[in-house]
Amino acid sequence: MNLQEKSKTFLRTRRNTLLKRVAAIDPHILRGSLIERYIRCGKPGCKCVDGPGHGPKYYLSVSYPDQKPQQDYVPQQFQKHVARSLANYQKLKTLLERICDINRELLRRREEL
């Protein structure tokens, strides 16, 4: 959508619509990535020697500036919940970016935010 071609009324209406969508997002929100791993135990004769390994095992990986990524084990029963929480974060991030774009366009026009 080319915001520069839209009226200020349209921009404010669109921003209000986006804000309502932000409020409607499930509050279960996580930032990071869900990593799926298969682990080999190293025991001779174990099925994991010739197969993909034991698993899947899931880990939530979160990166912070100037730090190593932090990883937390996610029990299998929480994997789907964590995946939904990560998706909620992405939805929220996308909506916030759109709202910021609208606010920046209003600022360029010297309109009150």
Domain ranges of the chain: 3-108
Please tell me the pTM assigned to this model: 0.85
C-alpha distance across the termini of the chain, in Å: 19
**pLDDT digits 0-9 by tens, 55-105:** 999 999 999 999 999 999 999 999 999 999 999 999 999 999 999 999 999
- According to DSSP, residue 68 is labeled P
